[in-house]
Amino acid sequence: MELYKRIAQTQTALNNCFKTHNEEWEYKHNLKITEYNDLLPSGSGVDNGSSINTDNTNMDKIVILSGWHIMNDGGYYDGWIDFRVVVTPSFDNFDLNIIGNFGKHQDLKDYLYELFNYSLNQEIN
């Protein structure tokens, strides 16, 4: 099953645990979410990794927090672009929306779409 489906299933189960105060399974589902965070893009510009925002993720959307380490023309690090990736279901896959203040780095969004699309579509056991 693809990563985005696993995230959606686990987050739905986690939300149900919150409602029913099932601490044992809440703990187990949180461990799974942590494992899934490790499968999201990290490094090569996404230097702080990516993490599922469990407060805003539900069966209708997955919200991932991330950031891009900007480099200037001289090859030195020159700041960060913090962004959110919102994943919503579509007919047979999902839609991605990347939200952040990219300013003059709008072309970076194309790369990030490819990066997150590949990551979220990977098959996991």
Does pLDDT of 75 surpass 90?
Answer: no
**pLDDT computed for residue 122 by the predictor:** 95
The SS3 assignment for 37 reads: helix
Q: How many CB atoms lie within 10 A of CB 92?
A: 5
- 73 token code pair: 């023309």
For residue 44, the model assigns a pLDDT of 86
Give the angle 115-41-85 at the CA atoms, nearest 5°: 70
What's the rounded Cα separation, in Å, for the pair 32 and 52? 11
Task: Report pTM.
Answer: 0.90
Average pLDDT of span 4-26: 94
pLDDT in tens, 16-47: 999 999 999 999 999 999 999 999 999 888 98
Q: Give the pair of three-digit tokens for residue 98.
A: 């990347």
Structural domain including 77 reads 3-121
Total domains in the chain come to: 1
